[in-house]
Every structure is written in structure tokens, then in C-alpha cells.
Amino acid sequence: MVSCRKIRRNSLLILLLLLASTLLFVSPVLAKSRRPISDIEVRQKKMDCYADVESGLWGPQCKSSMIAKENCALRCLSPTCYEFVYESDPLEEGEKDFVRSQEFKYCMHKLSLGESLEGIRGSFDY
């Protein structure tokens, strides 16, 4: 015959396992209510990306020129936003593209909030 103590202990163990698994599944839902990424965080992350590029982590092609380094740093900073904004037309030597730069920042902002990337392209056309 199974004792009451064993039943309680097993019930408590099952309850704890259910509670732990519930917390694991609830946390992605709570992640939707994030705060936006700050300019300071973006700058720090970009500096980390430049360091990774300089160390060779992104391959020798990323160190071949200043613009290659910039494209690789942007890809490191946010692969999703790089693909969305620059992939089809990467920055070229001497190019300053303020519109796409703003779109990239806006993309990172929306991603940090878990929002859709719809409406980013063309948001900053002057």
C-alpha cells in the first residue's frame, strides 16, 4: 500500500514541475512588453561589432575597406535590419545615406519592441 506521505511528496513534485514548465512558456509572452533599445545601447553594441570585425571574427572581407567594415558592423548590429535595409544595395565607398541610416535605426527600435517591420521603408524619404 502506498503511504500518504509518498503521495503528497509525489503530488508536490508534480506541482513544482508544472509550475516551472509554465514559467518557461510564459516568459516569451512577457518578452513582448519590452522597452525600446536606447541610443546608448545601440552605440555600445555597434562598438562591440566593430571590435568583432577588427578581430577577424567576421572574416577578412570585412577588413578589406572602411565601407566593408561598416557593412559588416551593421550586419552584426542587426542581421534582420541589415537584410531589410541594406542587403539589396550595400553602402558603397564615400556614400552617406542618411535616409537608410534612419530606417535602420527605426527597424532596430521596432524589433526591440517586438513590432512588425511594416512601414519602415519610405518612412524617412525627404
The amino acid at 109: H
Residues ≥6 apart with Cβ < 8 Å to 95: 67
Q: Rounded CA gap, 114 and 31, in Å? A: 8
**pLDDT at position 51:** 97
Q: What per-residue confidence (pLDDT) applies to 2?
A: 55
pTM metric for this prediction: 0.69
What are the DSSP E strand ranges found in 1-126? none
E strand or H helix at 16:
helix 4-30
> For residue 90, what pLDDT is reported?
93
In this predicted model, what pLDDT tens digit does every residue of 23-51 receive, in sequence order? 555 444 444 557 899 999 999 999 999 99
Q: Which grid coordinates belong to 105?
A: 535605426
| pLDDT tens sequence across 67-83 | 999 999 999 999 999 99
- For residue 94, pLDDT over 90 is answered with no
- Give me the percent of the chain exceeding a pLDDT of 70: 72
CB 78 within 8 A of CB 107: yes
